[in-house]
Amino acid sequence: MNEQLHYLKSALQKHSELKYVLTSREWQTDFLRFYQSQTNYNISKDSSSLDAILYKGKKSCSFTIDHPDKGKIDEALQTALDMIDIMPEDPDFVDVEDDLTLAAPRKIVNNIEALGLDEKTRILGELAKRAAKYDFELYGTFICNYQSWQLLNSNGLDKTSTQSPIYLEVKAVHKDSQVTVLETFGGDDFKYFDEAAFGKSLLTKVALAQNPVVDVAPGEYEVILAPRCVAEFAQYLSYGMRAGSVDSHNSFFEGKLNEQLFPASFSLTDDPTDPQMIRMDYGDQGHIYRPLKLIEDGYFRAFMCGQYYHHKLGLPKNGNTGECLKVNAGNAKLEDMIKSVKKGLYISSLHYMNFINARETSLTGLTRDGTFLIEDGKISKVVNNLRFTERISRIFENVIEFEDSAHTIPFSDNYGEFSVNSSRAPHARIKDFNISSSTRTI
């Protein structure tokens, strides 16, 4: 693969008038999908590709070659060279990335090889047996990816990066009531997977799911948000911290740098270095990816900005992409947080969120995979899935307290080449969370 990359680079060096960014990618996945405590399907996929972006002054043209060879490269390059002069200009383009900082080398285990299908099905089989005692069946995915890329550009940047994320998502679903609870593991090091603790946590949730199912009326509730929900709301909030959002006038944070917008207990960092997360070496266009404080003690501190918008908007360049978000833990014990709720909700997971107005951070979405009623400081009943319509900024303004430890939450990106990333977040207790309707279903 690198041979093809360097072949293209050599060809481009004959064209001194061009700037370029070249990326070669190798990607593999082993993907076990299960339902009703059995295999749905097993998938193995691999791909290799070569991406090129060519610039001639302020004109650009890009192409992708899957499974490249020299013949395909010659043809694609000639087509691009023939086209670039007729391209309209982008006057805002100045230069390709010039950050040549290299990340410290890391040893990457290929988890596709390290974690075979037999081991995956053994783990699932054990969990399925334990869940079956409560009439629950398991649904979900157990995925290992192995992906690497090399990026070269005309400013002398030459970087490689490898990742091998693991994603285990187990949903336990009651055979009759369909009440569902969720447990996940994500990371790039399987040594952090504690099989006993994972099973215990899942079974604890299964026990809570034995409670009767009720509905609740729309209105404002005090809620305990599970780490997955806190992480997902933080992800949506971070969209407005991207320089591109400022440029398209969709950013809640435009003009608010260094203003206190949230309680002092809320801090949010984009941190690609945490070993308990899926780590990343480089961010946008190959810029070194380093921890960046986005919200510090409630103050908005930074936009995530790459080369293009750095020149266009004058924002400091950092190359951060928001794929490794961490919400700081607080001081409260989860048990005490629940005890302090007289009547409220515990929300495990969110579903199908979409902005109504991104600049205002208003959105709607639903609860999923375990919504519980809290009465007099105890989880008492299962609640049908609920719809909320809220402003994310208001949700974080309404934080009462955060749990004293944060948890790694994996997320899968299903709209591009399948990728897995992670966030870390604690539970959060929030006041006045707006439930706008009930789904009447579990």
Partner 1 sequence: MKQKINKIINDLAAPDVSFADVRITITDYESIFFMNANLRDYSSSKGSVAIGIRVLIDGCFGFAGSKDLSEASIKRLIAKARANAIHGAKFQKEKLTFPALPAITGEYEHKPEIDPFAMPKAEKLEFLHKLATSIKPTGKIVYSYIATEFERQEKYYANSEGSYNHMIVTNTLPMMMVVASDGKQTQSRTWPGHMSAGRAGFELFYQQKFEENAELIIKEATDLLTADVITEEKADIIIGAGHLALQLHESVGHATEADRIFGQEISYAGKTFVKPSMLGTFKYGSDILNIYSDSTDPKGMGYSPMDDEGVPGRRVDIIKNGILMDQQTSRHIAHKLGLEPSSNMKASFADDFPLVRMTNLCIAPGKGSLADLIASTESGYFLDFTKTWSIDDNRNNFQFTTEIGYKIRDGRIVGIVKEPTYFGITPEFWNACDAICGEEEWAYHSTFHCGKGEPGQVMRLSHGVAPARFKDINVSVKM
Q: Which of residues 380-419 bind partner 1 (CB under 8 A)?
A: 385, 387, 389-391, 412-416, 418
Count CB-CB contacts under 10 A for residue 311.
15
Binding mask 160-179 for partner 1 (x = CB under 8 A): ---------x-x-x----x-
> Binding partner 1 by CB under 8 A: which of 45, 200, 256, 333?
45
Query: How far from the centroid of its chain's Cα atoms is residue 276's Cα?
Result: 14
Identity of the residue, 16 or 354, whose beta carbon is nearer to partner 1 in the bound complex? 354
Q: Does 363 bind partner 1 (CB under 8 A)?
A: yes
152 strand-pairing partners: 22, 158
Binding mask 221-260 for partner 1 (x = CB under 8 A): --------------------------xxxx----------
> Binding partner 1 by CB under 8 A: which of 110, 121, 340, 393?
121
> Binding partner 1 by CB under 8 A: which of 21, 61, 224, 295?
61
Nearest 5°: the CA angle 24, 25, 29 is 170
Count CB-CB contacts under 10 A for residue 35.
14
Q: Does 64 bind partner 1 (CB under 8 A)?
A: yes
Q: Does 90 bind partner 1 (CB under 8 A)?
A: yes
Q: Does 314 bind partner 1 (CB under 8 A)?
A: no
Q: How far apart are CA 368 and CA 352, in angstroms?
A: 10
DSSP characters over 7-54: HHHHHHTT-TTEEEEEEEEEEEEEEEEEETTEEEEEEEEEEEEEEEEE
Q: How far apart are CA 91 and CA 85, in angstroms?
A: 15
Q: How far is the CB of 96 from partner 1 (least distance, A)?
A: 14
Q: Does 65 bind partner 1 (CB under 8 A)?
A: yes
Q: Does 72 bind partner 1 (CB under 8 A)?
A: yes
Name the token pair of 159. 């970087």
Q: Does 111 bind partner 1 (CB under 8 A)?
A: no
Of 36-44, 99-107, 192-200, 286-294: span binding partner 1 (CB under 8 A): 36-44
Q: How far apart are CA 245 and CA 359, in angstroms?
A: 9
DSSP characters over 177-244: T--EEEEEEEES-GGG--HHHHHHHHHHHHHHTTSPEE---SEEEEEEEPHHHHHHHHHHHHGGGBHH
Identity of the residue, 76 or 292, whose beta carbon is nearer to partner 1 in the bound complex? 76
Q: How far apart are CA 280 and CA 421, in angstroms?
A: 9
Beta strand 158-163 with 325-327: parallel, antiparallel or unpaired?
Answer: unpaired
Q: Does 31 bind partner 1 (CB under 8 A)?
A: yes
Q: Does 356 bind partner 1 (CB under 8 A)?
A: yes
Rounded-to-10 torsion of CA 164, 168, 169, 172: 170
Of 6-14, 56-64, 208-216, 228-236: span binding partner 1 (CB under 8 A): 56-64
Residues 177-216 that bind partner 1 (CB under 8 A): 178, 180
Name the token pair of 2. 């690198």
> For residue 95, which of 245, 375, 317, 266 has the smallest C-alpha distance?
317
Identity of the residue, 88 or 156, whose beta carbon is nearer to partner 1 in the bound complex? 88
Q: Does 307 bind partner 1 (CB under 8 A)?
A: no
Q: How far is the CB of 434 from partner 1 (least distance, A)?
A: 6
> Binding partner 1 by CB under 8 A: which of 13, 67, 113, 114?
67
Q: How far apart are CA 347 and CA 409, in angstroms?
A: 15
Identity of the residue, 172 or 406, whose beta carbon is nearer to partner 1 in the bound complex? 172
Of 84-92, 227-235, 267-275, 398-406: span binding partner 1 (CB under 8 A): 84-92
